[in-house]
Amino acid sequence: MRNIFVIIAVVLLALAVGIEAASSATQTLGITQEVVGIAIPVLVAVDGALLLRFGLTAFGSIVSGAVQGKIDGAITLITGIVLVLVGIMAALGALGLLGLMLGLLLAVPFGTAIYLGMFGGFAHLAASSLLSFTMLLKAGAMVSFVLWNLHVLRSKSTVLLALTCLLMTGLVSLLHGIVPGILVSITDAIAAIIVGIVSVIWGVVLALVGIPGTLRAIKSFVPT
């Protein structure tokens, strides 16, 4: 009966990740005219890593420890490497965009006019609503995960990653709200850089955590 909680946790978190990813896809494809920025899609990196941790933990409850150990190490290592690459690309892309926006904004009057035309129409209300909704989904997922098994609180990496997801979502929301509307695109880029850097840090941590398990899995397949 308690397994329903882990199903709810995975579904809620997957929904949050899907919404964040969709915010990027709809802008890229021109499906919507509302610009909700680049920081929200970058959140997919850390949130996706947490979703994978939830999935691996749940999977470990239905298979033997030996099987789970082999899979966990390799997937954690791969996740870490992907996080590093995604985080670097996101941070560099956001940094380049930030430089462009600042350059235009300070190039009075024509550059400023171009900035306002290209980046001044940030859909702050839409972004705020999206962030609030995904925050609720993430919080609900984490509560459900703990209700499924209190022992998950013993995993420091999972707990810290969950807290990081909430903190990064809150940070993006904060940076969207502390400046006038025409400047939100700039603070959004700053938020994307921060989330990208945090993704790199977590990627390194997960890669280091996954190496021992991956090596043990490799040794188990090598005849002695």
Residue 114 in tokens: 């171009």
Could you write out the DSSP letters of every residue in 5-38?
HHHHHHHHHHHHHHHHHHHHHHHHTTS-S-B--S
Cα 13 from Cα 27, distance rounded (Å): 22
Q: What is the pLDDT of residue 59?
A: 73
In the three-class reduction of DSSP (H, G, I as helix; E, B as strand; rest coil), residue 122 is classed as strand
> Tens digit of pLDDT per residue, the chain (224 long)?
678 898 899 999 999 999 999 887 665 555 554 568 899 999 999 999 999 989 888 776 665 555 566 678 888 899 999 999 999 999 999 999 999 999 999 999 999 999 999 898 888 888 999 999 999 999 999 999 999 888 888 888 889 999 999 999 999 999 999 999 899 999 999 999 999 999 999 999 999 988 887 887 777 666 55
Cis peptide before 109 (omega within 30 of 0): yes
Q: What is the pLDDT of residue 27?
A: 59
Cβ–Cβ contacts within 10 Å for residue 214, how many? 18
Identify whether the C-beta of residue 176 lies closer than 8 Å to the C-beta of residue 33.
no
Cα 212 from Cα 92, distance rounded (Å): 30
Q: Which of 115, 120, 99 is nearest to 37 (CA)?
A: 120
Cα 178 from Cα 221, distance rounded (Å): 55
